[in-house]
């Protein structure tokens, strides 16, 4: 088995729900990052791309089911380049990277573009088809933006609670206070703002043409603990702790990474950033989905042959501050190395794009901070988690 490497990563700035990217179709967002990733590889003949694998959670509207193939066509790549869309909800684009790595390691591919896209602003309302012709009465429209829809009646009710209510149950189980959540959220915004000011995202983020958005729109550099404490709970009126301030905002965006074999250096004109050293997908009780990254990261590290004491950087998708804190409390890791350039509480969480966002950030952090080993992990609704371990290619050499 050969090794798979991350050669590059790029993403759009993430736009707020109804914000700067709301007017852009998801297939156009996807086409942009795929095309941009190809453009950034100076030696790459687009016809040499073996596959385009994109993650997408909704897929109910303008994505046209297989948004990866749509992106290939809209980006003007050769018609011979295939495309496949994967859906592991919030972990979709990290799963796309995992699938790309497997193809490279088994010799099925040398160069793969992996990534993901989500326009939560443009996710459509859906109407179930009637079970008989000319039904009497009305029907209810269902939003596809986030969470359950058209739920099977055989599903257990405790499995199908909202993501927010599930996280309230998780933080109750592990004793995470509102104060800790707000402090964590404030840190995320502060670090994201500092990273942007320091130019950390200059090589990672490219503005979508025709828009004025050059930075992640949800970041609030003027936040305070007092402002966060004044926000009302979003999911429980009595005793709730999760608010709009300590949860990731709904967002729009796309991300991509260039995954390749050792031979891909000569094909792309790029040097590898990191080696994909291990990965894992796990599942647990749906209502405790936020805890799944704990085991996913542990398994991925074990498969890489390293431990937490070796890890110098962690990127954990901050779906909720409470969920993130539960994971950090469970891991034997210094919280200061987690999301050092800010996290999804500040940057946003466009479901299908977040996995490649954290992977690309991790690869760049390993280089910038001269660390050898890093972990990218993400929680997934309905009780799943995915994690990937990266080894700094230059430190390994």
Dmax over Cα atoms in the chain, in whole Å?
A: 70
Q: What is the pLDDT of residue 397?
A: 61
* Dist CA 353 CA 32 (whole Å): 13
Q: What is the pLDDT of residue 198?
A: 98
Residue 327 annotated as catalytic: no
Residue 189 annotated as catalytic: no
- In sequence order, the β-bridge partners of residue 118 are 253
In sequence order, the 6+-apart residues with CB closer than 8 A to the CB of 234 are: 164, 240, 242, 243, 244, 247
In sequence order, the 6+-apart residues with CB closer than 8 A to the CB of 191 are: 339, 340, 341, 342, 343, 346
Measured on CA atoms in the order 350, 353, 358, 360, is the torsion positive or negative? Answer: negative
* Dist CA 102 CA 109 (whole Å): 9
Q: Would you say 46 and 110 are in contact if contact means Cβ atoms under 8 Å apart?
A: no
Q: What is the pLDDT of residue 340?
A: 98
Q: Give 364 or 130, the one with higher predicted confidence.
A: 364
Helices (H), the chain: 26-39, 67-74, 92-105, 163-174, 178-197, 225-229, 264-268, 292-304, 321-330, 344-347, 354-368, 393-396
Range among 97-106, 139-148, 231-240 rated most confident = 97-106
Measured on CA atoms in the order 157, 163, 164, 166, is the torsion positive or negative? Answer: positive
- Lowest average pLDDT, out of 49-58, 145-154, 262-271, goes to 145-154
Q: What is the pLDDT of residue 131?
A: 85
Average pLDDT score over the chain = 96
Whole-number percent of the chain with pLDDT over 90:
92
Q: What is the pLDDT of residue 396?
A: 65
Distance, CA of 193 to chain centre: 19
What integer is the mean pLDDT of 243-253? 97
* Dist CA 250 CA 265 (whole Å): 37
Please report which confidence band the pLDDT of residue 133 belongs to, taking 50, 70 and 90 as the band edges.
confident
Q: Would you say 82 and 48 are in contact if contact means Cβ atoms under 8 Å apart?
A: no
Q: Would you say 5 and 260 are in contact if contact means Cβ atoms under 8 Å apart?
A: yes
**Two tokens, residue 384:** 């799943």
In sequence order, the 6+-apart residues with CB closer than 8 A to the CB of 39 are: none
Strands 111-119 and 251-260: antiparallel
Span 178-233, pLDDT tens digits: 999 999 999 999 999 999 999 999 999 999 999 999 999 999 999 999 999 999 99
Q: What is the pLDDT of residue 129?
A: 87
SS3 (DSSP) at 125: strand
Q: What is the pLDDT of residue 91?
A: 97
Q: What is the pTM of this model?
A: 0.96
Span 70-92, pLDDT tens digits: 999 999 999 999 999 999 999 99
> Residues 300, 306, 312, 314: what is their CA dihedral angle, to the nearest 10 degrees?
10
Whole-number percent of the chain with pLDDT over 70:
99
Please report which confidence band the pLDDT of residue 21 belongs to, taking 50, 70 and 90 as the band edges.
very high
DSSP-assigned states of every residue in 70-113: HHHHHTT--TT--EEEE--GGGHHHHHHHHHHHHHHTTS-SEEE
Task: Give the Cβ contact number of residue 141 at 10 Å.
Answer: 10
Out of 90, 189, 193, 327, which one is annotated catalytic? 90
DSSP-assigned states of every residue in 199-236: TTTTTTB-PPTT----S-TT--TT--HHHHHTSPPSS-
């Amino acid at each position: 088995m050969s090794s798979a490497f991350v050669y590059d990563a790029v993403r759009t700035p993430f736009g707020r729900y109804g914000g700067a990217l709301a007017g852009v179709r998801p297939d156009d967002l996807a086409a942009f990052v795929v095309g941009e990733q190809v453009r950034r590889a100076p030696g790459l003949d687009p016809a040499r791309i073996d596959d385009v694998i994109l993650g997408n959670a909704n897929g109910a509207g303008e994505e046209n089911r297989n948004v990866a193939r749509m992106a290939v066509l809209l980006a003007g790549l050769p018609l011979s380049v295939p495309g496949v869309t994967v859906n592991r909800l919030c972990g979709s684009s990290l799963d796309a990277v995992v699938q790309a790595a497997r193809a490279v390691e088994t010799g099925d591919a040398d160069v793969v573009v992996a990534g993901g896209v989500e326009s939560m602003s443009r996710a459509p309302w859906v109407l179930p088809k009637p079970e008989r012709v000319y039904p009497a009465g009305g029907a209810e429209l269902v939003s596809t933006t986030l969470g359950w829809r058209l739920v099977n009646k055989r599903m257990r009710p405790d499995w199908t609670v909202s993501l927010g209510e599930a996280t309230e149950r998780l933080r109750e189980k592990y004793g995470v206070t509102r104060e800790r959540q707000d402090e964590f959220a404030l840190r995320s915004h502060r670090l994201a703002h500092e990273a942007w000011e320091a130019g950390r995202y200059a090589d990672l983020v490219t503005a979508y043409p025709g828009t004025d958005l050059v930075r992640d729109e949800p970041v609030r550099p003027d936040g305070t603990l007092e402002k966060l404490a004044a926000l009302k709970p979003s999911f429980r009126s009595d005793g709730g702790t999760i608010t709009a301030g300590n949860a990731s905002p709904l967002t729009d965006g796309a991300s991509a990474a260039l995954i390749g074999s050792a031979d891909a250096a000569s094909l792309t004109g790029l040097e590898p950033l990191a080696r994909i050293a291990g990965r894992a997908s796990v599942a647990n009780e749906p209502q405790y989905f936020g805890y799944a990254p704990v085991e996913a990261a542990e398994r991925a590290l074990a498969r890489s042959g390293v431990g937490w004491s070796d890890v110098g950087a962690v990127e954990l998708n901050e779906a909720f501050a409470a969920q993130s804190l539960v994971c950090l409390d469970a891991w034997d890791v210094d919280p200061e190395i987690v999301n050092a350039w800010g996290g999804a509480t500040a940057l946003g969480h466009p479901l299908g794009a977040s996995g490649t966002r954290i992977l690309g950030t991790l690869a760049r952090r390993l280089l910038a901070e001269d660390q050898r080993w890093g972990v990218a992990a993400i929680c997934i609704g309905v009780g799943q988690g995915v994690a990937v371990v990266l080894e700094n290619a230059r430190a390994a050499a």
